[in-house]
Amino acid sequence: AQSVTQLGSHVSVSEGALVLLRCNYSSSVPPYLFWYVQYPNQGLQLLLKYTSAATLVKGINGFEAEFKKSETSFHLTKPSAHMSDAAEYFCAVTGDNYGQNFVFGPGTRLSVLP
């Protein structure tokens, strides 16, 4: 079975500062990991995904995440925050071939201060 924890339900950064959103997972099989972003009253949009090809994954909007097996982590980063990055971010994990065990973390709300 898989599980996901996201440290910090709410993170605030200043515009131009580094964004770091934390995700730790638990999986009994090799994990496949995802980061999604959700803007108010919208569906979730995929930012990036890790599927074992490379440990450093680059996504849309300047975000990237690094898979660290020893730390069971998949933290999301962006060098310089923009006001438009303010949203809810979800980390997710799956470990099977049928999508039946697609597990989401509780989410982290990112606020960007001017």
Q: Is 22 in the site for other proteins (CB under 8 A)?
A: no
Considering only 34, 63, 74, 89, the residue that binds other proteins (CB under 8 A) is: 34
Residue 28 contacts other proteins per CB under 8 A: no
**C-beta of 17 vs 22, nearer to other proteins:** 22
Asked whether position 114 contacts other proteins by CB under 8 A, the answer is no
74 binds other proteins (CB under 8 A): no
3-state secondary structure the chain: CEEEECCCCEEEEECCCCEEECCEEEECCCCEEEEEEECCCCCEEEEEEECCCCCEEECHHHCEEEEECCCCEEEEEECCCCHHHCEEEEEEEECCCCCCCCEECCCEEEEEEC
- Taking the complex as a whole, the smallest distance from the CB of residue 39 to other proteins amounts, in Å, to 11
